Each structure stands twice: as C-alpha cells, then as structure tokens.
Structure 1
Amino acid sequence: MTDLRIADETNFDELVLRADKPVLVDFWAQWCPPCHQILPILAQIADERRDQLTVVKLNSDENPAISSKYRVMALPTLMLFHHGELIWSIVGARPKAKLLKDLDEALLTTV
C-alpha cells in the first residue's frame, strides 16, 4: 500500500498549503519518462516517511495554474512545502539515496 496522495487545483491548498507537516509535491506528466522512473522511489519515501512528511503528486498538464504559479519549467520537479511555504525544490529524477539526503537536509530547516 502506498501513501502517495493526488493533488489538483481543487485540493492543493488543503493537501499542501494547510498541511500540518511537510509536504513533498511531485510535479509530473504522463508523457515524462523520468517522472515514471521516480514514481517507485516516491512511493517508497511516502511509505517509509509517512510520520515525517506527506508525498503528493500533481499532474502539471492537468493543473497548469498551480504549475505556473510555482514556475515549474521542467519535469519532474519536486518541491517541499512546510506551513504553506516553499522551502526546497529540485528538478529531475534522483537516486533514492541522493533524494533522501537532500530531503533530510531540507527537513532540518523545518525543526
């Protein structure tokens, strides 16, 4: 079972901006091979870190207003939000170990 959540323009504020713990948002699209490549890694992180953060997927093609607001120019883009603020982002797929290292460093700023 995976704890990945799906965000769109109707629930983004609730799932991401008003969340009480950090939220990692994966901006992706169906046509993007690296987006599919990183999906299993994000599913593992969602399961392994469910007490620490929430992982949310947002289809950029289906939600252009949010992608535009956060200036998403390439996919996949991962953004970490805490208390409604964008605190970290990367563009492109990463191996799980590298992604977790970068994520842990970013999460240190939320403590």
Structure 2
Amino acid sequence: MSRLAPEGNASKVIEVVDQNFEEVVLRSDLPTEVDFWAPWCGPCHMVSPIYDKLSEEYEGRFKFCKVNVDENRQTAMEYQIMSIPMQLFFKDGELVDSIVGAVPESEIRTRVEAWL
C-alpha cells in the first residue's frame, strides 16, 4: 500500500515498499522516478526537497516515488543499489535511466523532461 507524505507537506512523492513496487512503479501509466534512500543518508536529505517540488510541478505527468533501502532490501538488491542516493527512471515498466549521488535540480529536471 502506497502512502503519500504526511499531511501539511505538499509533496506528492509516493513511498513504495517491496510488496507494491511492481504495482506502483513497473505497472505505472506514467514515467516514474524512484529515489532509493535511507534515513541516515545526509545527501539523501539534501535532494529530498527537490523531489517534493518536482512531484508537485509534474503531478499527473510524471510519478515520483521513494524506497527506503533499510526497510526494503529485496527491491534494493534486485536493482543492485550499492550507493545512495540513487534515482532510477522507469517508463512502460522498463528501467531507462539512472542518477547516482546528490545532483542539482537542473540535472534531475533534464532527465524528467527526457522521459515525458
């Protein structure tokens, strides 16, 4: 079951878990970005507000999700997540792009626009 960020936060980023990754990400009608992160990861917290902002801006055209690697090891292992933050981009159920590390908003926006 997917959850939106807590009320009061404008974010439309969907928290995905091992059990619903296929349904939420791979079966999505929209191109989808998945941010693999962990609560202890400083750079992950630096890029999180960027995804919150973009999730609002691209609502209905692009889906933004996040996976906590500490709690969802199966998905992290399946996609060979070795360092975080790592963003994977999916379109029509296929992995099409990736970004490793904390990057500027402009870089993320360029990738999003490329897969619209």
Q: Show CA shifts across 1:87-110 (max 9, x none).
A: 0001001111122123323x16xx
Given candidates 83, 89, 104, the residue that maps to 2:98 is 89
What is the rounded CA distance, in whole Å, between the counterparts of 1:88 and 1:42 in structure 2? 16
TM-score between both structures, scaled by the size of structure 2? 0.88
Q: Write the mapping of 1:17-96 to structure 2, written as runs, cut at 5 A.
A: 17-96=26-105
RCO higher in structure (CA 8 A, sep ≥6): 1
Shift of 1:53: 0.7
Q: Write the mapping of 1:9-24 to structure 2, written as runs, cut at 5 A.
A: 9-24=18-33
- RMSD, aligned α-carbons: 1.0
Q: In structure 1, list runs of 5 or more residues that go unmatched.
A: none
Aligned length: 107
Moved segments of 4+, more than 3 Å: none
TM-score between both structures, scaled by the size of structure 1? 0.91
Q: In structure 2, list runs of 5 or more residues that go unmatched.
A: 1-9
Shift of 1:52: 1.6
